Amino acid sequence: MVNYSSGSPRPDTPQGDEGPGADDRRDAAPAVRAQGLTVVRGPRTVLRDLDFTVPRGRITGLLGPSGCGKSTLMRAVVGTQAKVTGTLDVLGSPAGHPTLRTRIGYVTQAPSVYDDLTVRQNLDYFAAILDPGRAAADRRHENVTRAIADVDLTTHADALAGNLSGGQRSRVSLAVALLGTPELLVLDEPTVGLDPVLRRDLWQLFHTLAAERGTTLLISSHVMDEAERCHRLLLMRAGEILADDTPDALRARTGSDTVEAAFLHLVDAAIAAGRTKETTR
């Protein structure tokens, strides 16, 4: 586990996250490095020749419209996607390497919880798989209690998962991913269906994980205002990466006030470039 200074600040937004440890993180090799990453699903090339990096200890937002390939990219990073070509290194090993299993937490869009177990029983079950044996019982109890508190479900710890709301069930899935204190957390649209207060609280948790535990977070969303909360952004469209930059740099580069406006600017530029290519053929 990479552990950075626990004295780092806790920003709610990325601006000003220059506390102790920030330089170390930037200097470290990236958590994810892709070169020429291509994925074919069925008859279609869904990701086309992508080059990008995900820096360690930071929050990288993966944004783009529905169907552009965000989930496919995440599945490639966690090693569950077939027909991946090119280079994809994750935490220093090829994506999908068995040693990465305990170092990565992955939360899919569909919550993976047992409805007939309580929140705590769900967590106890997964904790027992991660850290088995009687000798680890106290540690497991501590980790389960911490993970439940992390996602703000302490008051629902004894509720059946089947009786929770959609947003609460998603948070149980997130708690499962947090059990093993992963170095890399890959979250596929974790805030879908959550009210504004919960969304804000979850983003605060993501910033705390990055600043205090040195966790690298790769978070997908198609809500552009969430982009403003990320340290870095990968903007996608139709299986390609339009931009790999900070929100500030993106706004400055495109002369836009918001990341949403910057994204639209880049989409228009890509469409215009495509048209030019067509007419010069």
Ligand X SMILES: Nc1ncnc2c1ncn2[C@@H]1O[C@H](COP(=O)(O)OP(=O)(O)OP(=O)(O)O)[C@@H](O)[C@H]1O
Q: Interface residues with ligand X (CB under 6 A)?
A: 41-42, 44, 46, 64, 66-72, 222
Q: Which is nearer to ligand X, 11 or 69 (CB)?
A: 69
**Integer-rounded Cα radius of gyration of the chain:** 19
| Residue 226: CB minimum distance to ligand X, A | 13
**199 sits in which H/E element:** helix 196-213
> Residue 245 pairs with which residues in a beta bridge?
233
| Residue 186: CB minimum distance to ligand X, A | 12
| Residue 74: CB minimum distance to ligand X, A | 8
CA distances from 128 to 40, 133, 160 (A): 36, 7, 19
| Residue 68: CB minimum distance to ligand X, A | 4
- Number of Cβ within 10 Å of residue 28's Cβ equals 15
Q: Which is nearer to ligand X, 70 or 232 (CB)?
A: 70
- Number of Cβ within 10 Å of residue 82's Cβ equals 9
| Residue 179: CB minimum distance to ligand X, A | 25
Q: Which is nearer to ligand X, 75 or 265 (CB)?
A: 75
In order, the DSSP letters of 123-191 are: HHHHHHHHS-SGGGHHHHHHHHHHHHHHTT-GGGTTSBGGGS-HHHHHHHHHHHHHTT--SEEEEESTT
Q: Which is nearer to ligand X, 8 or 173 (CB)?
A: 173
Task: Determine the distance from the C-alpha atom of residue 54 to the mean position of all C-alpha atoms in its chain, rounded to a whole number.
Answer: 10
E strands, 7-137, are 32-41, 44-54, 59-63, 84-90, 93-94, 104-107
Q: Which is nearer to ligand X, 140 or 229 (CB)?
A: 229
Strands 32-41 and 44-54: antiparallel
Q: Which is nearer to ligand X, 40 or 117 (CB)?
A: 40
**Using CA atoms, how far apart are residues 73 and 81, in angstroms rounded to an integer?**
8
Query: At 10, which amino acid appears?
Result: R
Q: Using alpha carbons only, what angle is made at residue 273 by residues 272 and 276, rounded to the nearest 5 degrees? A: 90
| Residue 104: CB minimum distance to ligand X, A | 18
Q: Which is nearer to ligand X, 20 or 67 (CB)?
A: 67
| Residue 72: CB minimum distance to ligand X, A | 3
Helix (H, G, I), strand (E, B) or coil at 254: helix
| Residue 236: CB minimum distance to ligand X, A | 7
Q: Which is nearer to ligand X, 89 or 240 (CB)?
A: 240
